[in-house]
Structures are given as C-alpha cells and as structure tokens.
C-alpha cells in the first residue's frame, strides 16, 4: 500500500522567507505525486503534479517541487512567502497502474507572519 508522510502539522514562515514543506512517500511501484492546497472551508486545488517526466515540477502561485527517488521525497518549495500562501497543504501519492486512488498525508497548516 502507498502512503505519504508530512511532518510538522503547523509551519510558520515569515513573509518573504522560503517556504519548505516536506513530503516522503512509500510506494512499491514508481509513484505519481501531487501537492494540493486548501483554503478555509473550501475544496482542494491542485498546485502541481509529478507523473514520471521532469523531476523538477513547477506549479501555480510560484511553487515548485522536486522528485528524488533516492530519498523517496517530493518536497514543496516557494522562494518568497506571501500572506496569501496561508493555507493547508497536502501531499498525495497515486498508484500509476490506473485505479486513481490517492493516499494523502495529514497536511501542513502554513501560517505566514507579517
């Protein structure tokens, strides 16, 4: 079974500082990986995805993530945090054999300090 680990339920970052959210996965087959963002009382919005093409993936709102097979990681970064980045972020892994089931991490609540 696939799984995702996100450490640190709450992450505080100063406005203008680097945002780094860590995601480590476990999968018996080469995975597909996703980062989603959720604003309060809303659904999830896709930030970016890795589907076995380029290992450095660029997404919306200035975010990017790098797939590192040797480290089983898919960490999310943004060089400079904005107040609007305050939200909850979820990493998810999917079975690429086609059943489309996603396994989610427990999420990181990001707080941006002015």
Residues that bind another protein (CB under 8 A): 9, 32, 34, 36, 41-46, 49, 51, 90, 94-96, 98-102, 104-107
CA atoms within 13 Å, Cβ hemisphere of 15: 5
Looking at beta carbons only, is 99 or 114 nearer to another protein? 99
DSSP state at residue 106: -
Looking at beta carbons only, is 105 or 110 nearer to another protein? 105
Q: Please report, for residues 6, 28, 87, 110, the alpha-carbon distance to residue 83 in angstroms, rounded to integers and kept in the order given.
A: 22, 38, 10, 10
**At its nearest, how many Å lie between another protein and the CB of residue 32?**
5
**At its nearest, how many Å lie between another protein and the CB of residue 68?**
20
**At its nearest, how many Å lie between another protein and the CB of residue 16?**
28
Looking at beta carbons only, is 98 or 114 nearer to another protein? 98
Q: Please report, for residues 20, 50, 102, 114, the alpha-carbon distance to residue 96 in angstroms, rounded to integers and kept in the order given.
A: 26, 11, 10, 40
């Amino acid at each position: 079974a696939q799984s995702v680990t996100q450490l640190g339920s709450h992450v505080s970052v100063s406005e203008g500082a680097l945002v780094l959210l860590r995601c480590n996965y476990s999968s018996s087959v080469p995975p597909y990986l996703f980062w989603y963002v959720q604003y309060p009382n809303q659904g999830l919005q896709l930030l970016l995805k890795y589907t076995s093409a380029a290992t450095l993936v660029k997404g919306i709102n200035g975010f990017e993530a790098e797939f590192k097979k040797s480290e089983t990681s898919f960490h999310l970064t943004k060089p400079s945090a904005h107040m609007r980045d305050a939200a909850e972020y979820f990493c998810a892994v999917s079975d690429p054999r086609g059943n489309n089931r996603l396994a989610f991490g427990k999420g990181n609540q990001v707080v941006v300090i002015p």
